[in-house]
């Protein structure tokens, strides 16, 4: 991904150097500590949680450091909006703001498909924070035979 970004930036006249760092300690030693970096976001149960964790001006994980008072007000207002259509439009407006003004690039969206076999037991929990029971399925499943 870094090489692809480097090649694309070169077409715009930018020279980016790639600095490979150890994966061990990446999140504590490098993530959000350099002008440009990489991260990933696992699924969240609601759009509001994701927007609050990564795009609210005061969010600890606001990777790009983006601050927008209008966005913050809209996000907070969306939490109390009872009308689904209105709330959906608020989320769409916030995503447009991020796209047009935010300092983050999303090069890929991962699509996860889960399935299981009737011979597997324990797959009865729904955890919306990642595939297969929040990546914890190995701790809860067993082979029925």
Task: Quote the pLDDT of residue 135.
Answer: 74
Judged against a pLDDT cut of 90, whether residue 38 lies above it is answered with no
* Reported pTM: 0.73
Q: Which two tokens stand for residue 30?
A: 């490098």
- Give the confidence band of 93 by pLDDT, cuts at 50, 70, 90: very high
Judged against a pLDDT cut of 90, whether residue 85 lies above it is answered with yes
Task: Quote the pLDDT of residue 125.
Answer: 64
CA distance 31 to 43: 19
Task: Quote the pLDDT of residue 86.
Answer: 97
User: Could you tell me which residue, 132 or 23, shows the higher pLDDT?
Assistant: 23
* SS3 readout for 31-86: CCCCCCCCCCCCCCCCHHHHHHHHCCCCCCCCCCCCCCHHHHHHHHHHHCCCCHHH
Which of 86, 85, 97 lies closest to 51 in space, CA to CA? 97
User: Could you tell me which residue, 125 or 12, shows the higher pLDDT?
Assistant: 12
- Mean pLDDT on 42-51: 86
CA distance 52 to 6: 30
Task: Quote the pLDDT of residue 109.
Answer: 74
- Give the confidence band of 123 by pLDDT, cuts at 50, 70, 90: confident
């Amino acid at each position: 991904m870094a090489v692809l970004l480097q090649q694309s930036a070169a077409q715009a006249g930018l020279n980016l150097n790639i600095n490979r760092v150890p994966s061990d300690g990446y999140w504590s030693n490098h993530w959000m500590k350099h002008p440009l970096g990489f991260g990933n976001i696992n699924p969240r149960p609601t759009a509001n949680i994701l927007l609050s964790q990564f795009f609210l001006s005061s969010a600890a994980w606001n990777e790009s450091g983006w601050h927008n008072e209008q966005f913050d007000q809209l996000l907070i207002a969306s939490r109390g909006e009872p009308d689904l259509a209105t709330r959906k439009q608020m989320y769409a407006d916030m995503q447009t703001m991020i796209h047009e003004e935010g300092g983050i690039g999303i090069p890929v969206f991962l699509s996860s498909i889960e399935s299981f076999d009737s011979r597997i037991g324990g797959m009865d929990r729904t955890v919306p924070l990642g595939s297969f029971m929040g990546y914890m399925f190995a701790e809860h499943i067993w082979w029925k035979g």
